[in-house]
Amino acid sequence: MQNEPPRATLDKAALDRLRELDPEGRHGVLRRVLDTFESSLTRMLVQLAAEIGQGRTQAVADMAHKLKSSAAAVGALALSNSCAEVERRQRPGAPQQLDEDVRRLITDGELSLHAVRAILRE
């Protein structure tokens, strides 16, 4: 028996708020928002992977900041929380764990991406 990869879920309340913007689904708001988030997150994961070992604290903090609110908006709360934590730790004077933080964002981002894609396949 193979181990199942961990699964992330998107917050139902956040998804419901997006559905409320287009209650009858005629405009495809939920799908468009998730498509946009998927594209953005995919690009950002590549950028984050390129930051491992580079030591560019500000670049990582900027990416975490950009990703934080969009992740929360689609219900990827674990990713949003990780972004907030990474952003906080990358401030001047805070303890630095840059590569560990980047790997955490990548892991949470990949799990969130999997959850978004599952909804898009429905």
pLDDT tens digit sequence for 71-94: 999 999 999 999 999 988 877 766
- What pLDDT, on the 0 to 100 scale, is given for residue 58? 87
Non-local (6+) Cβ contacts of 109 within 8 A are 41, 44, 45, 48, 67, 79
The total number of structural domains in the chain stands at: 1
Structural domain including 52 reads 12-121
Residues 53 and 101: their CA atoms lie apart, in Å, by 11
Residue at 117 is within a domain: yes
| CATH number reported for the structural domain that contains residue 57 in this entry | 1.20.120.160
Domain assignment of residue 67, yes or no: yes
**CA–CA dist 103, 22 (Å, integer):** 36
Regions of the chain where pLDDT drops below 50: 1
3-state secondary structure of 7: coil
